[in-house]
Chains A and B, each alone.
Chain A
């Protein structure tokens, strides 16, 4: 009898949770059709004390008639991989890799607005927030440079704790760029901060028509940019605290090698930490 009850308890605990496993592309909504697709290589330094250790990603900028979307290619690959696993009937998914820029930025051309969908680390919540588009106070310079065959002009700006240098070209008449960057009279082909922690370089321009999509409204929640930063900071500073925060009500368990049973990690353990070096420092 006692065994049966224990079995029941185990089964109850193993009910699948709704934590954010991946964003299922099947539920995406189409917002627009792209006219141009720009690809940037993104190089990021996660640990500011170890600047030689770089993380690589690609940022895809899809430009439509009414809006543009900038997103991480790695994250897109992750969702696609999970979807493939789902379609094969698998019940588990690979853990998401820690990404430096897990954000989708939607810039609306006819409004002073952009919408950001930010995925918090691992399987944390996806947070949506809106901002004004004209956040950047660009300073023009008279420096010019050729980037992938286009004559580019240098412009600089201080943005949320980093000093950015960007190169844009008037030969590509699109006032847009990777991530949140916009507001110059031409496409930004290169952007980097003065510490060399973040850089984006254009490696592809295509006139591709493809749907510009947004994830289903049940997958994200509206919160502020400050909340995003709090979540990320907690993840980097205290991983156990972060797990407890994103899985409320589920005790953080770990296997006790002596008793071979899972036991709860005590609340006072804050867990390992790792360096945090976000693109927006403030």
Chain B
């Protein structure tokens, strides 16, 4: 029985074994060498279906198993050096060896046209409906959700972390950079698609020549929204210790060949609505008034503002675009602060000056621009004309041991004309030229008054008087022109860039001083030194060559410019006329070497030259402010200097670690010194022909490390700087030494996906000493910590909160204060509500202080008290 069972078991096992066939063997070539990596396949003989396969090993051996039940099988050997050989074998385990012929095999060539269009298309389109949800009101809300696009509170857009270069509505650029008017006002439901144009070169004639790395955005409207009028509104109300309000209305129309957009704004809640960025002439004098610290705009601005803008674009018959932009606005701003300035005088006591100030500043601005663009394949012509006017009336009262009342007013008018012309060769060689010309003309009639009269010793034979009046007339014509070739000269890895520029500057300055005595009589100071009548002309043609060398491990650049400088100075009143012609060169050099995957070393050096501008060349006295009187009765002087740096960098991005160490050194030589003499606490500045040299040395270390744990990032930087500056104070040359230490640590942490925390702490210590002075000044120590936490909640609610802590000590004072802000936003049925609470701790003043060469400065600036504001944003039409 036992034996029978064993037999059955054996038979069963045997039959099981027999159902799997093992074919093995050795493949050799005709020389008898084994063939490696040849394919051996076993196929059904009936339909050549592959049943099993193997590859030969380095001894030419192969082994194939199959469970196929076919009676006959085909066994093939081939490879891309092996001529195919096939044998018909029985489906039983066996050894089959091959001797194959080795030969290079040509494949049967095939080429099929790809069906898909896949050329490099740089346009990415987003369907607005796919990103829009019920909480979105304006197009900026939808843009924020699109990959790669970021929109800030002001409506400005970034794509992949870089500001976009152009913003088109239906392919037309109406707003010329002020496109936030559109993003904040165009209703999300009117937009069909948003197109991102990557690597967008707006000048067609420069395509494939100048690579634009910038992206542009084009908004395509829904058919039903084209050619209709739309209106959106913002309404806000709040309270600090007074009622706060904010209102905005925007109307727009986008047609096929014409577009319009107009806005109307008014608020008293801290947003200024004018800026003077297009005013090209700046006054030579000012009044002393509180200076705004660098904290957020709402906290520091007490205003009453209104603004109006109008924008339109018309498409012309030759497809050129003509756009007109106009704006008008007014700001009335109140500021108050307390400040203390301490002048360090060689071999004498320092001078202390305390000023308690209140100012009222009124500005009205008007701006109108016309822009014409003809953008063809081979030609480009852009003409931009702009006229801007600014009417400023400021007054400031200063309480010190006596009351000082100052005022200034001016009506500045500037015009600008910019031209850009590109012409590309008719054959597509990439050759061509580009000319760019920027021109501006401005006038600025300025008048100021200071009561009581300043500098009686100099201006009124030491007799005290009531009021100093000053009139300054400035005109300025500037032109800057560049010529460049669209193709460059290249030899191996060297590139040569030539450039040619021409600049012109013509300025006139006229000034007079009037005094009003205590009896109310006004007279003009007629002596030449109390006024100016100057014509200043500077011409600067220049050519420059840049040599650039780049290889895998070296990057280096040398720039050699040659400049001809002609200056004509005509001063009839003070009989101080001269002209001067000079050839200058200010080369610069940079070199970077990659030592290995982790270490880089770089060296930079440049030589610079500067001459004073008319602002520090006039010969007659100008009252720069009520306590500074200046004249620069000297010849034209040059400043020469050199600045160099060395930096060693280590980075290992795989370990989230980076460190660097750098040294910077700067040395300069001045042909004139500016003598600073005090009359009491009044400062008189004169230029004196006296050479001086100064230098500055700094070291810095940086390290940054990231951790996987909750995305923790820590960056630390510390630096030390040492400066030596000679100054001419009270007719003595004194050397001021400035030393400063600075340390910064920033850390950020993502506590959860919806709670984000960041903290930035910075500490600094500054000290200024005078050569030979034993009584050292006290250092200013400041510590600032800024912590921020954001919560992103469901249902369209988000909450943000930030706390800033400031500590300052030095200059005999010590201050600690904090600022706490919080905001919540929520969207309900296409109306966005924002609740903003600022300065919850109700801090009164923002305090800061610093040292400059000859003085130390301390300021307490009054900021907006605790305030709350609720704003709603919605579409009207």
Contacts and interface: CB of A to CB of B under 8 A. Distances in A.
B199 A94 contact: yes
Contacts, number: 244
A232 interface: no
A267 B163 contact: no
B65 to A, nearest CB: 12
Contact of B154 (A219, A239, A257): A257
A245 B53 contact: no
Interface stretch (B445-453, B467-475, B483-491, B841-849): B483-491
Interface string B46-73: 0001111101001000000000000000
B114 A257 contact: no
Contact of B80 (A35, A94, A148, A271): A35
A88 to B, nearest CB: 6
A225 interface: no
B801 interface: no
B858 interface: no
Given A11-B604, A221-B597, A175 B213 contact: no
Given A173-B105, A184-B53, A244-B713, A43 B213 contact: no
Given A4-B641, A11-B588, A268-B756, A254 B80 contact: no
A267 B552 CA distance: 32
Contacts of A105: none
Contact of B211 (A85, A223, A265): A85
B668 A205 contact: no
A79 interface: no
A36 B107 contact: yes
A248 B651 contact: yes
B871 interface: no
Given A88-B487, A207-B106, A140 B52 contact: yes
B552 A219 contact: yes
B3 to A, nearest CB: 42
Interface stretch (B143-151, B225-233, B258-266, B527-535): B143-151
Interface residues of B, number: 118
Contacts of B115: 41
Interface in B135-192: 146-150, 152, 154, 156, 158, 160-163, 180
SS of B interface (majority) = strand
A173 B604 contact: no
Contacts of B37: 109-110, 175
B666 A249 contact: no
Interface string B658-683: 11101010101000000000000000
Contact of A74 (B120, B488, B696, B702): B120
A173 B84 contact: yes
B702 A249 contact: yes
A271 B149 CA distance: 9
B53 A268 contact: no
Given A18-B592, A249-B651, A11 B606 contact: yes
Contact of A265 (B79, B84, B161, B666): B161
Interface string A92-122: 1111010000000000011000000000000
Nearest to B277: A260
Contact of A92 (B84, B211, B550, B594): B211
A184 to B, nearest CB: 7
A246 B113 CA distance: 39
A12 B114 contact: no
Interface in A36-89: 36, 41, 43, 54, 56-58, 63, 74, 77, 85-89
B748 A218 contact: no
Contacts of A36: 80, 107
A57 B118 contact: yes
Given A8-B664, A87-B490, A245-B656, A268 B702 contact: no
Contact of B110 (A7, A170, A205): A205
A227 B654 contact: yes
A231 B788 CA distance: 27
Contacts of B309: none
A93 B211 contact: yes
Given A144-B49, A239-B161, A254-B158, A173 B39 contact: yes
A272 interface: yes
A77 B120 contact: yes
Interface string A155-194: 0000000000000001111110000000011100000000
A135 B158 CA distance: 43
A266 B594 contact: no
B592 A272 contact: no
Those 4 A-B pairs whose CB atoms lie nearest each other, nearest first: A56-B118, A89-B488, A248-B658, A267-B748
Given A7-B608, A88-B488, 18 more contacts: A4-B668, A11-B590, A15-B590, A43-B116, A88-B430, A91-B495, A91-B548, A93-B213, A94-B213, A109-B37, A110-B37, A149-B110, A153-B49, A184-B53, A239-B148, A249-B660, A258-B297, A260-B277
